[in-house]
Amino acid sequence: MSDLDPQPAAPADIGVPAPPPAAVRSEMSDGEWHRLHPLSPLLRGGLTLLVIIGILIANLRDRLISFFLPEGFRWDEEDPVDFVLQNGIAVQAIVAVVVGLIVLVALFWMAWRFHTFRITGDEVEVRSGVLFRTHRRAPLDRVQGVNLTRPALARLVGLAKLEVVGAGLDANVKLEYLSTANAETVRGDILRLASGHRTKDAAARTAAGGPLTSRVTAGISEIIDGVEDDGTEAESIVRVPMSRLILAGLLSGSTISFVLVVVAVIVGLVLQPVWIVPALGASIPTAIAFGAYAVRRFVRTVRYSIAPSASGVRVTFGLLTTVTETLPPGRIHAVDVRQPLLWRWGGWYRIRINQISGRSASDTSAAQMGDVLPIGTQADVERVLRLLLPSVPIDAALLDAGLHGPAAGDGYTTSPARARVIDPLTWRRNGILVLPQAVLVRTGRLWPKLTILPLARLQSVRISQGPLDRRLGLAGLTGHTVLGPVSGTVASLDHEEAYALWNDITAAAVAAASAESVSPAADEEDAAGVDAAGAAPDTAAPVTAAPVVAPARPEDERP
Protein backbone atom coordinates (compact mmCIF):
# COMPACT_ATOMS: atom_id res chain seq x y z
CA MET A 1 0.00 0.00 0.00
CA SER A 2 1.51 3.33 -1.04
CA ASP A 3 1.32 6.74 0.59
CA LEU A 4 -1.49 7.60 -1.82
CA ASP A 5 -3.93 5.00 -0.51
CA PRO A 6 -6.79 6.74 1.33
CA GLN A 7 -8.25 5.48 4.60
CA PRO A 8 -12.00 4.73 4.64
CA ALA A 9 -13.97 7.69 5.90
CA ALA A 10 -15.40 7.48 9.39
CA PRO A 11 -18.98 8.59 10.08
CA ALA A 12 -17.64 11.71 11.84
CA ASP A 13 -15.81 12.68 8.67
CA ILE A 14 -18.97 12.94 6.62
CA GLY A 15 -19.73 16.54 5.69
CA VAL A 16 -16.12 17.77 5.94
CA PRO A 17 -15.57 20.19 3.04
CA ALA A 18 -13.06 19.04 0.44
CA PRO A 19 -10.59 21.52 -1.07
CA PRO A 20 -11.72 23.13 -4.34
CA PRO A 21 -10.25 21.10 -7.22
CA ALA A 22 -8.89 24.23 -8.91
CA ALA A 23 -6.70 25.01 -5.87
CA VAL A 24 -4.93 21.64 -5.52
CA ARG A 25 -2.52 19.68 -7.67
CA SER A 26 -1.87 16.54 -5.64
CA GLU A 27 -4.06 13.47 -5.23
CA MET A 28 -3.29 13.66 -1.51
CA SER A 29 -5.10 17.01 -1.19
CA ASP A 30 -8.59 15.69 -1.91
CA GLY A 31 -10.02 15.88 1.62
CA GLU A 32 -9.62 12.14 2.24
CA TRP A 33 -7.34 10.41 4.74
CA HIS A 34 -3.98 9.29 3.36
CA ARG A 35 -1.00 7.49 4.81
CA LEU A 36 2.57 8.68 4.76
CA HIS A 37 5.40 6.89 2.99
CA PRO A 38 5.92 3.30 4.25
CA LEU A 39 9.52 4.12 5.28
CA SER A 40 8.31 6.89 7.60
CA PRO A 41 8.43 4.85 10.86
CA LEU A 42 12.03 3.84 10.12
CA LEU A 43 13.13 7.42 9.47
CA ARG A 44 11.19 8.87 12.42
CA GLY A 45 12.99 6.70 14.95
CA GLY A 46 13.02 3.10 13.83
CA LEU A 47 16.66 3.27 12.76
CA THR A 48 17.61 4.45 16.23
CA LEU A 49 15.62 1.57 17.70
CA LEU A 50 17.52 -0.95 15.58
CA VAL A 51 20.87 0.49 16.67
CA ILE A 52 19.86 0.33 20.35
CA ILE A 53 18.72 -3.28 19.98
CA GLY A 54 22.02 -4.16 18.30
CA ILE A 55 24.02 -2.57 21.14
CA LEU A 56 22.01 -4.38 23.78
CA ILE A 57 22.44 -7.73 22.07
CA ALA A 58 26.19 -7.17 21.63
CA ASN A 59 26.65 -6.33 25.32
CA LEU A 60 24.23 -8.88 26.79
CA ARG A 61 24.87 -11.86 24.52
CA ASP A 62 26.22 -14.05 27.37
CA ARG A 63 23.10 -13.56 29.45
CA LEU A 64 20.82 -14.05 26.45
CA ILE A 65 22.53 -17.33 25.49
CA SER A 66 22.35 -18.70 29.02
CA PHE A 67 18.69 -17.66 29.29
CA PHE A 68 17.41 -19.16 26.02
CA LEU A 69 19.66 -22.27 25.68
CA PRO A 70 20.16 -25.31 27.96
CA GLU A 71 23.05 -25.42 30.42
CA GLY A 72 24.91 -28.00 28.33
CA PHE A 73 25.85 -25.48 25.73
CA ARG A 74 29.15 -23.67 26.17
CA TRP A 75 29.99 -20.11 25.30
CA ASP A 76 33.71 -19.40 25.08
CA GLU A 77 33.64 -15.89 23.60
CA GLU A 78 33.95 -17.33 20.12
CA ASP A 79 32.40 -16.06 16.95
CA PRO A 80 28.56 -16.28 17.17
CA VAL A 81 28.28 -17.98 13.77
CA ASP A 82 30.86 -20.65 14.73
CA PHE A 83 29.05 -21.16 18.03
CA VAL A 84 25.73 -21.72 16.25
CA LEU A 85 27.22 -24.17 13.74
CA GLN A 86 29.29 -26.13 16.26
CA ASN A 87 26.33 -26.65 18.61
CA GLY A 88 23.86 -27.55 15.86
CA ILE A 89 21.37 -24.81 16.60
CA ALA A 90 21.29 -23.20 13.17
CA VAL A 91 17.55 -23.81 12.78
CA GLN A 92 16.76 -22.28 16.17
CA ALA A 93 18.95 -19.24 15.39
CA ILE A 94 17.30 -18.69 12.01
CA VAL A 95 13.85 -18.98 13.57
CA ALA A 96 14.80 -16.46 16.29
CA VAL A 97 16.11 -13.97 13.72
CA VAL A 98 13.03 -14.38 11.52
CA VAL A 99 10.69 -13.95 14.49
CA GLY A 100 12.55 -10.82 15.58
CA LEU A 101 12.35 -9.36 12.09
CA ILE A 102 8.64 -10.17 11.89
CA VAL A 103 8.03 -8.42 15.21
CA LEU A 104 9.95 -5.32 14.08
CA VAL A 105 8.18 -5.23 10.72
CA ALA A 106 4.82 -5.62 12.49
CA LEU A 107 5.62 -2.72 14.83
CA PHE A 108 6.68 -0.52 11.93
CA TRP A 109 3.62 -1.52 9.93
CA MET A 110 1.29 -0.70 12.82
CA ALA A 111 2.94 2.69 13.31
CA TRP A 112 2.56 3.44 9.59
CA ARG A 113 -0.97 2.03 9.38
CA PHE A 114 -2.34 4.27 12.12
CA HIS A 115 -0.49 7.45 11.08
CA THR A 116 -2.69 9.29 8.58
CA PHE A 117 -3.34 12.82 7.43
CA ARG A 118 -5.78 14.73 5.30
CA ILE A 119 -6.08 18.20 3.79
CA THR A 120 -9.60 19.60 3.78
CA GLY A 121 -10.97 22.93 2.72
CA ASP A 122 -10.49 24.31 6.23
CA GLU A 123 -7.51 22.60 7.90
CA VAL A 124 -4.66 20.10 7.82
CA GLU A 125 -5.18 17.14 10.17
CA VAL A 126 -2.84 14.40 11.37
CA ARG A 127 -3.84 11.31 13.38
CA SER A 128 -1.27 8.96 14.90
CA GLY A 129 -0.75 6.39 17.63
CA VAL A 130 -1.89 2.80 18.19
CA LEU A 131 -2.65 2.55 21.92
CA PHE A 132 -2.57 6.28 22.62
CA ARG A 133 -4.18 8.20 19.78
CA THR A 134 -3.42 11.83 18.97
CA HIS A 135 -5.26 14.12 16.58
CA ARG A 136 -3.66 17.45 15.59
CA ARG A 137 -5.19 20.14 13.43
CA ALA A 138 -3.77 23.24 11.74
CA PRO A 139 -6.55 25.61 10.58
CA LEU A 140 -5.70 27.02 7.17
CA ASP A 141 -6.56 30.57 8.23
CA ARG A 142 -3.81 30.30 10.88
CA VAL A 143 -1.10 28.85 8.66
CA GLN A 144 1.99 31.06 8.52
CA GLY A 145 3.97 28.95 6.06
CA VAL A 146 5.07 25.41 5.26
CA ASN A 147 8.69 24.45 5.89
CA LEU A 148 10.28 21.75 3.75
CA THR A 149 13.12 19.73 5.28
CA ARG A 150 15.23 17.06 3.58
CA PRO A 151 17.38 15.22 6.14
CA ALA A 152 20.47 13.50 4.80
CA LEU A 153 19.20 9.94 5.25
CA ALA A 154 15.77 10.80 3.85
CA ARG A 155 17.35 12.42 0.80
CA LEU A 156 19.11 9.14 0.00
CA VAL A 157 15.73 7.42 -0.45
CA GLY A 158 13.99 10.42 -2.04
CA LEU A 159 11.88 11.54 0.94
CA ALA A 160 11.20 14.87 2.64
CA LYS A 161 9.12 16.13 5.54
CA LEU A 162 6.73 19.06 5.79
CA GLU A 163 6.08 21.25 8.82
CA VAL A 164 2.93 23.34 8.68
CA VAL A 165 3.71 26.43 10.77
CA GLY A 166 0.77 27.62 12.84
CA ALA A 167 0.15 30.65 15.06
CA GLY A 168 0.88 29.81 18.70
CA LEU A 169 3.14 27.70 20.85
CA ASP A 170 3.32 24.02 19.84
CA ALA A 171 0.90 24.74 16.99
CA ASN A 172 2.88 23.15 14.15
CA VAL A 173 1.73 20.02 12.35
CA LYS A 174 4.34 17.71 10.79
CA LEU A 175 4.03 15.34 7.85
CA GLU A 176 6.97 12.92 8.17
CA TYR A 177 7.68 11.62 5.50
CA LEU A 178 6.48 11.97 1.92
CA SER A 179 8.20 11.39 -1.36
CA THR A 180 9.98 14.55 -2.49
CA ALA A 181 7.62 15.07 -5.43
CA ASN A 182 4.54 14.61 -3.22
CA ALA A 183 5.99 16.86 -0.52
CA GLU A 184 6.59 19.74 -2.91
CA THR A 185 3.15 19.40 -4.49
CA VAL A 186 1.33 19.11 -1.15
CA ARG A 187 3.26 22.11 0.16
CA GLY A 188 2.03 24.20 -2.76
CA ASP A 189 -1.54 22.99 -2.22
CA ILE A 190 -1.52 23.97 1.47
CA LEU A 191 -0.10 27.39 0.66
CA ARG A 192 -2.69 28.04 -2.04
CA LEU A 193 -5.55 26.95 0.21
CA ALA A 194 -4.25 29.10 3.06
CA SER A 195 -3.89 32.08 0.73
CA GLY A 196 -7.50 31.58 -0.32
CA HIS A 197 -8.62 31.74 3.30
CA ARG A 198 -6.61 34.92 3.83
CA THR A 199 -8.21 36.46 0.76
CA LYS A 200 -11.71 35.61 2.01
CA ASP A 201 -10.94 36.98 5.46
CA ALA A 202 -9.57 40.19 3.97
CA ALA A 203 -12.68 40.55 1.81
CA ALA A 204 -14.91 40.00 4.83
CA ARG A 205 -13.01 42.61 6.79
CA THR A 206 -13.25 45.06 3.90
CA ALA A 207 -17.00 44.51 3.56
CA ALA A 208 -17.50 44.93 7.31
CA GLY A 209 -15.22 47.95 7.56
CA GLY A 210 -16.63 50.04 4.75
CA PRO A 211 -14.43 53.11 5.00
CA LEU A 212 -11.38 53.55 2.84
CA THR A 213 -9.07 53.29 5.88
CA SER A 214 -10.40 49.80 6.67
CA ARG A 215 -9.81 48.61 3.12
CA VAL A 216 -6.28 50.01 3.11
CA THR A 217 -5.52 48.39 6.50
CA ALA A 218 -6.80 45.03 5.27
CA GLY A 219 -4.74 45.29 2.10
CA ILE A 220 -1.54 46.12 3.98
CA SER A 221 -2.14 43.28 6.44
CA GLU A 222 -2.65 40.84 3.59
CA ILE A 223 0.63 41.91 2.00
CA ILE A 224 2.56 41.63 5.27
CA ASP A 225 1.06 38.44 6.68
CA GLY A 226 -0.16 36.59 3.61
CA VAL A 227 0.88 33.00 3.08
CA GLU A 228 3.41 32.36 0.36
CA ASP A 229 2.31 30.77 -2.86
CA ASP A 230 4.08 28.02 -4.73
CA GLY A 231 5.28 30.16 -7.57
CA THR A 232 8.79 30.38 -8.87
CA GLU A 233 11.25 31.12 -6.09
CA ALA A 234 13.00 34.47 -6.31
CA GLU A 235 16.76 34.57 -6.60
CA SER A 236 18.73 34.95 -3.38
CA ILE A 237 19.62 38.55 -2.57
CA VAL A 238 22.79 37.48 -0.70
CA ARG A 239 25.66 35.38 -1.99
CA VAL A 240 28.06 33.92 0.56
CA PRO A 241 31.29 32.74 -1.10
CA MET A 242 32.74 29.51 0.23
CA SER A 243 36.06 31.21 0.98
CA ARG A 244 34.32 33.82 3.15
CA LEU A 245 32.38 31.14 5.00
CA ILE A 246 35.54 29.16 5.81
CA LEU A 247 37.53 32.24 6.81
CA ALA A 248 34.72 33.55 9.01
CA GLY A 249 34.60 30.20 10.80
CA LEU A 250 38.32 30.38 11.50
CA LEU A 251 37.92 33.94 12.84
CA SER A 252 34.94 33.15 15.08
CA GLY A 253 34.85 33.46 18.85
CA SER A 254 34.86 29.69 19.35
CA THR A 255 38.12 29.47 17.39
CA ILE A 256 39.67 32.16 19.57
CA SER A 257 38.63 30.26 22.69
CA PHE A 258 40.06 27.03 21.32
CA VAL A 259 43.39 28.68 20.48
CA LEU A 260 43.59 30.20 23.97
CA VAL A 261 42.97 26.79 25.54
CA VAL A 262 45.70 25.21 23.38
CA VAL A 263 48.16 27.97 24.31
CA ALA A 264 47.35 27.57 28.00
CA VAL A 265 47.91 23.81 27.79
CA ILE A 266 51.26 24.24 26.01
CA VAL A 267 52.45 26.83 28.53
CA GLY A 268 51.37 24.60 31.40
CA LEU A 269 53.21 21.62 29.96
CA VAL A 270 56.37 23.67 29.50
CA LEU A 271 56.28 24.91 33.08
CA GLN A 272 55.05 21.68 34.66
CA PRO A 273 55.80 18.61 32.45
CA VAL A 274 54.33 16.31 35.10
CA TRP A 275 50.84 17.40 33.99
CA ILE A 276 51.28 16.14 30.43
CA VAL A 277 49.03 13.08 30.81
CA PRO A 278 46.07 14.89 32.49
CA ALA A 279 46.45 17.79 30.05
CA LEU A 280 46.30 15.51 27.02
CA GLY A 281 43.35 13.66 28.53
CA ALA A 282 41.42 16.93 28.86
CA SER A 283 42.51 18.59 25.61
CA ILE A 284 41.79 15.70 23.24
CA PRO A 285 38.02 15.56 24.03
CA THR A 286 37.92 19.35 23.83
CA ALA A 287 39.54 19.29 20.39
CA ILE A 288 37.10 16.62 19.19
CA ALA A 289 34.11 18.59 20.49
CA PHE A 290 35.34 21.79 18.87
CA GLY A 291 35.95 20.05 15.56
CA ALA A 292 32.47 18.52 15.61
CA TYR A 293 30.91 21.91 16.39
CA ALA A 294 32.86 23.66 13.64
CA VAL A 295 31.97 21.03 11.04
CA ARG A 296 28.30 21.01 12.08
CA ARG A 297 28.06 24.79 11.86
CA PHE A 298 29.79 24.86 8.48
CA VAL A 299 27.58 22.12 7.04
CA ARG A 300 24.49 23.89 8.35
CA THR A 301 25.32 27.29 6.83
CA VAL A 302 26.68 26.18 3.45
CA ARG A 303 24.38 26.58 0.44
CA TYR A 304 22.70 29.49 2.15
CA SER A 305 20.13 31.61 0.31
CA ILE A 306 17.59 34.24 1.33
CA ALA A 307 14.92 35.59 -0.99
CA PRO A 308 11.58 37.41 -0.83
CA SER A 309 8.34 35.48 -1.15
CA ALA A 310 4.67 36.34 -0.92
CA SER A 311 4.76 35.80 2.86
CA GLY A 312 8.00 37.61 3.66
CA VAL A 313 11.38 35.91 3.58
CA ARG A 314 12.33 32.41 2.46
CA VAL A 315 15.58 31.11 3.96
CA THR A 316 17.26 27.92 2.72
CA PHE A 317 20.40 26.41 4.19
CA GLY A 318 22.20 23.12 4.76
CA LEU A 319 24.52 20.81 2.85
CA LEU A 320 23.47 17.34 4.01
CA THR A 321 20.12 18.26 5.57
CA THR A 322 18.44 20.98 3.53
CA VAL A 323 15.90 23.19 5.31
CA THR A 324 13.61 25.74 3.68
CA GLU A 325 11.92 28.00 6.23
CA THR A 326 9.56 30.92 5.73
CA LEU A 327 9.76 34.02 7.95
CA PRO A 328 6.67 36.23 7.64
CA PRO A 329 7.53 39.80 8.76
CA GLY A 330 4.57 39.83 11.14
CA ARG A 331 6.14 36.98 13.12
CA ILE A 332 9.54 38.62 13.62
CA HIS A 333 9.73 40.13 17.10
CA ALA A 334 13.35 41.27 17.35
CA VAL A 335 16.38 41.59 15.09
CA ASP A 336 19.99 42.24 15.96
CA VAL A 337 23.02 42.91 13.80
CA ARG A 338 26.33 42.02 15.44
CA GLN A 339 29.97 41.94 14.46
CA PRO A 340 32.40 39.50 16.13
CA LEU A 341 35.76 40.96 17.04
CA LEU A 342 37.88 39.42 14.26
CA TRP A 343 35.20 39.94 11.61
CA ARG A 344 36.06 43.65 11.52
CA TRP A 345 38.98 42.71 9.26
CA GLY A 346 36.57 41.64 6.54
CA GLY A 347 33.72 44.05 7.38
CA TRP A 348 31.31 41.15 8.04
CA TYR A 349 28.17 40.99 10.17
CA ARG A 350 25.63 38.45 11.41
CA ILE A 351 21.86 38.88 11.78
CA ARG A 352 19.82 37.06 14.41
CA ILE A 353 16.09 37.18 15.13
CA ASN A 354 13.45 36.26 17.68
CA GLN A 355 10.31 34.80 16.16
CA ILE A 356 7.30 32.71 17.08
CA SER A 357 8.04 29.44 15.32
CA GLY A 358 4.94 27.48 16.38
CA ARG A 359 7.15 24.69 17.74
CA SER A 360 7.05 23.09 21.13
CA ALA A 361 9.53 24.33 23.72
CA SER A 362 10.82 20.74 24.02
CA ASP A 363 11.31 20.29 20.27
CA THR A 364 15.11 20.21 20.31
CA SER A 365 15.32 18.56 16.89
CA ALA A 366 13.88 21.66 15.25
CA ALA A 367 14.96 24.50 17.47
CA GLN A 368 13.96 28.05 16.64
CA MET A 369 16.20 29.35 13.86
CA GLY A 370 18.35 32.22 15.15
CA ASP A 371 20.85 33.14 12.42
CA VAL A 372 19.02 34.56 9.42
CA LEU A 373 22.19 35.93 7.86
CA PRO A 374 25.20 33.83 8.97
CA ILE A 375 27.73 36.24 7.44
CA GLY A 376 27.41 39.22 5.15
CA THR A 377 28.69 42.68 4.31
CA GLN A 378 26.99 45.89 5.38
CA ALA A 379 25.28 46.08 2.00
CA ASP A 380 23.95 42.53 2.57
CA VAL A 381 22.70 43.59 6.00
CA GLU A 382 20.77 46.51 4.50
CA ARG A 383 19.07 44.27 1.94
CA VAL A 384 18.13 41.61 4.52
CA LEU A 385 16.77 44.18 6.99
CA ARG A 386 14.54 45.63 4.30
CA LEU A 387 13.10 42.14 3.80
CA LEU A 388 12.72 41.30 7.49
CA LEU A 389 11.33 44.69 8.58
CA PRO A 390 9.72 46.34 5.56
CA SER A 391 7.88 48.88 7.75
CA VAL A 392 11.07 50.13 9.48
CA PRO A 393 13.03 52.65 7.35
CA ILE A 394 16.59 51.38 7.86
CA ASP A 395 18.88 53.28 5.51
CA ALA A 396 22.67 53.29 5.22
CA ALA A 397 23.09 56.30 7.51
CA LEU A 398 20.89 54.87 10.26
CA LEU A 399 22.60 51.49 10.05
CA ASP A 400 26.06 53.07 10.10
CA ALA A 401 25.16 55.11 13.20
CA GLY A 402 23.95 51.97 14.95
CA LEU A 403 26.95 49.83 14.07
CA HIS A 404 29.79 52.35 14.13
CA GLY A 405 28.45 55.18 16.32
CA PRO A 406 28.35 57.30 18.30
CA ALA A 407 28.39 60.29 15.98
CA ALA A 408 27.28 63.85 16.45
CA GLY A 409 23.61 64.33 15.65
CA ASP A 410 22.77 60.63 15.21
CA GLY A 411 19.68 61.03 17.44
CA TYR A 412 20.58 58.36 20.01
CA THR A 413 20.09 58.94 23.73
CA THR A 414 23.44 57.92 25.22
CA SER A 415 24.98 57.27 28.64
CA PRO A 416 26.25 60.29 30.61
CA ALA A 417 29.94 60.66 31.47
CA ARG A 418 29.38 59.48 35.04
CA ALA A 419 28.46 56.05 33.68
CA ARG A 420 32.16 55.34 33.04
CA VAL A 421 32.50 54.35 36.71
CA ILE A 422 30.45 51.15 36.24
CA ASP A 423 30.65 50.77 32.46
CA PRO A 424 34.14 51.92 31.42
CA LEU A 425 34.31 50.13 28.06
CA THR A 426 30.92 50.65 26.44
CA TRP A 427 29.41 53.74 28.06
CA ARG A 428 30.25 55.88 25.04
CA ARG A 429 28.49 53.48 22.64
CA ASN A 430 25.40 52.78 24.72
CA GLY A 431 22.43 54.37 23.00
CA ILE A 432 18.72 54.08 22.29
CA LEU A 433 16.65 55.64 19.52
CA VAL A 434 12.84 55.55 19.31
CA LEU A 435 11.41 55.57 15.78
CA PRO A 436 7.69 55.60 14.92
CA GLN A 437 7.89 51.89 14.00
CA ALA A 438 10.69 50.46 16.16
CA VAL A 439 13.18 50.96 18.97
CA LEU A 440 16.88 50.80 18.09
CA VAL A 441 19.33 49.77 20.83
CA ARG A 442 23.08 50.24 20.31
CA THR A 443 25.54 48.39 22.59
CA GLY A 444 29.03 46.85 22.65
CA ARG A 445 32.43 48.19 21.68
CA LEU A 446 34.62 45.13 21.02
CA TRP A 447 31.57 43.21 19.74
CA PRO A 448 29.28 45.99 18.44
CA LYS A 449 25.59 45.14 18.21
CA LEU A 450 22.50 46.93 16.93
CA THR A 451 19.14 45.59 18.15
CA ILE A 452 15.86 46.48 16.43
CA LEU A 453 12.60 45.93 18.34
CA PRO A 454 9.40 46.50 16.32
CA LEU A 455 7.01 48.44 18.56
CA ALA A 456 3.96 46.39 17.56
CA ARG A 457 5.70 43.21 18.78
CA LEU A 458 6.90 44.41 22.19
CA GLN A 459 5.49 42.34 25.05
CA SER A 460 6.57 44.74 27.80
CA VAL A 461 9.15 47.41 28.65
CA ARG A 462 11.11 47.38 31.89
CA ILE A 463 13.11 50.10 33.64
CA SER A 464 15.53 48.93 36.33
CA GLN A 465 18.14 50.26 38.77
CA GLY A 466 20.79 48.55 40.84
CA PRO A 467 22.38 50.03 43.98
CA LEU A 468 25.25 51.65 42.05
CA ASP A 469 22.89 52.87 39.35
CA ARG A 470 20.72 54.52 41.99
CA ARG A 471 23.76 56.14 43.58
CA LEU A 472 24.92 57.56 40.23
CA GLY A 473 21.46 58.47 38.96
CA LEU A 474 21.45 55.85 36.20
CA ALA A 475 18.94 53.30 34.98
CA GLY A 476 18.59 50.58 32.36
CA LEU A 477 15.85 49.80 29.84
CA THR A 478 14.82 46.36 28.52
CA GLY A 479 12.34 45.60 25.76
CA HIS A 480 10.82 42.14 26.21
CA THR A 481 9.91 39.95 23.24
CA VAL A 482 9.43 36.22 22.71
CA LEU A 483 12.31 33.99 23.72
CA GLY A 484 15.28 33.89 21.39
CA PRO A 485 18.93 34.86 20.96
CA VAL A 486 18.18 38.60 20.75
CA SER A 487 18.16 40.70 23.93
CA GLY A 488 17.02 44.34 23.82
CA THR A 489 18.75 45.80 26.89
CA VAL A 490 20.62 49.07 27.21
CA ALA A 491 22.25 50.04 30.52
CA SER A 492 23.68 53.14 32.22
CA LEU A 493 21.26 55.76 30.90
CA ASP A 494 20.45 58.91 32.84
CA HIS A 495 17.51 57.98 35.09
CA GLU A 496 15.37 60.97 34.02
CA GLU A 497 15.93 60.25 30.35
CA ALA A 498 15.35 56.53 30.91
CA TYR A 499 12.00 57.22 32.60
CA ALA A 500 10.91 59.53 29.80
CA LEU A 501 11.93 56.93 27.21
CA TRP A 502 10.06 54.25 29.14
CA ASN A 503 6.84 56.28 28.92
CA ASP A 504 7.44 57.14 25.26
CA ILE A 505 8.14 53.53 24.25
CA THR A 506 5.13 52.24 26.18
CA ALA A 507 2.79 54.76 24.57
CA ALA A 508 4.24 54.08 21.12
CA ALA A 509 3.88 50.31 21.62
CA VAL A 510 0.23 50.73 22.60
CA ALA A 511 -0.41 52.84 19.51
CA ALA A 512 1.38 50.38 17.22
CA ALA A 513 -0.48 47.40 18.68
CA SER A 514 -3.81 49.23 18.36
CA ALA A 515 -3.09 50.02 14.72
CA GLU A 516 -2.76 46.29 14.02
CA SER A 517 -5.68 45.17 16.18
CA VAL A 518 -7.99 44.97 13.16
CA SER A 519 -5.55 43.04 10.97
CA PRO A 520 -5.10 39.25 10.62
CA ALA A 521 -1.58 39.60 11.99
CA ALA A 522 -2.85 41.01 15.25
CA ASP A 523 -5.45 38.28 15.58
CA GLU A 524 -2.77 35.64 15.11
CA GLU A 525 -0.52 37.40 17.59
CA ASP A 526 -3.27 37.45 20.18
CA ALA A 527 -3.92 33.77 19.53
CA ALA A 528 -0.26 33.02 20.08
CA GLY A 529 -0.33 35.01 23.32
CA VAL A 530 3.33 34.50 24.06
CA ASP A 531 4.61 36.60 26.92
CA ALA A 532 8.12 37.70 27.75
CA ALA A 533 8.83 34.50 29.66
CA GLY A 534 7.87 32.32 26.68
CA ALA A 535 4.62 30.99 28.23
CA ALA A 536 1.46 30.87 26.13
CA PRO A 537 -2.15 30.96 27.37
CA ASP A 538 -4.97 29.01 25.80
CA THR A 539 -5.11 29.87 22.10
CA ALA A 540 -8.81 29.08 22.00
CA ALA A 541 -9.61 32.38 23.72
CA PRO A 542 -7.46 35.09 22.18
CA VAL A 543 -7.22 38.28 24.17
CA THR A 544 -5.75 41.47 22.79
CA ALA A 545 -3.04 42.64 25.16
CA ALA A 546 -1.02 45.81 25.03
CA PRO A 547 1.54 47.40 27.35
CA VAL A 548 0.01 49.58 30.03
CA VAL A 549 1.06 53.20 30.11
CA ALA A 550 2.23 54.20 33.56
CA PRO A 551 1.07 57.51 34.98
CA ALA A 552 3.46 60.41 34.74
CA ARG A 553 5.92 60.66 37.61
CA PRO A 554 6.34 63.84 39.62
CA GLU A 555 9.45 65.73 38.70
CA ASP A 556 11.04 65.30 42.13
CA GLU A 557 10.39 61.53 42.33
CA ARG A 558 13.31 59.26 41.61
CA PRO A 559 12.80 55.93 39.77
Domain for residue 322, yes or no? no
Domain for residue 313, yes or no? no
Pair 415, 491 in one domain: yes
Domain count across the chain: 4
Which range has the worst mean pLDDT, 131-140, 183-192, 250-259, 541-550? 541-550
Domain boundary among 198, 225, 252: 225
Which range has the worst mean pLDDT, 35-49, 105-119, 141-155? 35-49
Domain for residue 344, yes or no? yes
136 sits in which H/E element: strand 134-139
Question: Which domain CATH number covers 176?
Answer: 2.30.29
Contact 379, 419 (CB under 8 A): no
What's the confidence (pLDDT) of residue 452?
A: 94
pLDDT band at 416 (very low <50, low <70, confident <90, very high): very high
Domain for residue 535, yes or no? no
Pair 380, 250 in one domain: no
| 483 beta partners | none
pLDDT band at 213 (very low <50, low <70, confident <90, very high): very low
Pair 349, 414 in one domain: yes
Q: What percent of the chain has pLDDT over 90?
A: 16
What does the mean pLDDT of the chain come to? 74
Is the per-residue pLDDT at 53 higher than 70?
Answer: no
Domain for residue 556, yes or no? no
Helix axes of 520-528 and 180-209: crossing angle, nearest 10 degrees: 110
Give the SS3 label for residue 260.
helix
Domain for residue 317, yes or no? no
What's the confidence (pLDDT) of residue 550?
A: 40
Burial profile 460-491: b = 16 or more Cβ within 10 angstroms, e = fewer: bbebebeeebeebbbbbbbbbbbbbebbbebb
pLDDT band at 544 (very low <50, low <70, confident <90, very high): very low
Domain for residue 544, yes or no? no
pLDDT band at 105 (very low <50, low <70, confident <90, very high): confident
* d(C-alpha 504, C-alpha 463), whole Å: 12
Domain for residue 536, yes or no? no
Pair 18, 127 in one domain: yes
Domain boundary among 61, 79, 113: 113
Is the per-residue pLDDT at 368 higher than 70?
Answer: no
CA distances from residue 412 to 156, 405, 415, 450 in whole angstroms, order as listed: 53, 9, 10, 12
* d(C-alpha 182, C-alpha 154), whole Å: 14
Q: Which residue has the higher pLDDT, 37 or 522?
A: 37
Give the SS3 label for residue 143.
coil
Pair 292, 424 in one domain: no
Pair 343, 465 in one domain: yes
Q: Which domain holds residue 12?
A: 6-36+115-225
Pair 174, 257 in one domain: no
Pair 122, 101 in one domain: no
Pair 211, 99 in one domain: no
Q: Which residues contact 478 (CB under 8 A, 6 or more apart)?
A: 461, 462, 464, 487, 488, 489, 490
Is the per-residue pLDDT at 485 higher than 50?
Answer: yes
Contact 309, 289 (CB under 8 A): no
CA distances from residue 40 to 13, 245, 265 in whole angstroms, order as listed: 25, 34, 48
Question: What is the chain's percent helix, strand, coil content, to nearest 5?
Answer: 45, 20, 35
Pair 252, 366 in one domain: no
What's the confidence (pLDDT) of residue 257?
A: 74
Pair 149, 261 in one domain: no
User: Identity (one letter) of the amino acid at 390?
Assistant: P
Pair 18, 163 in one domain: yes
- The one-character DSSP state at 4 is T
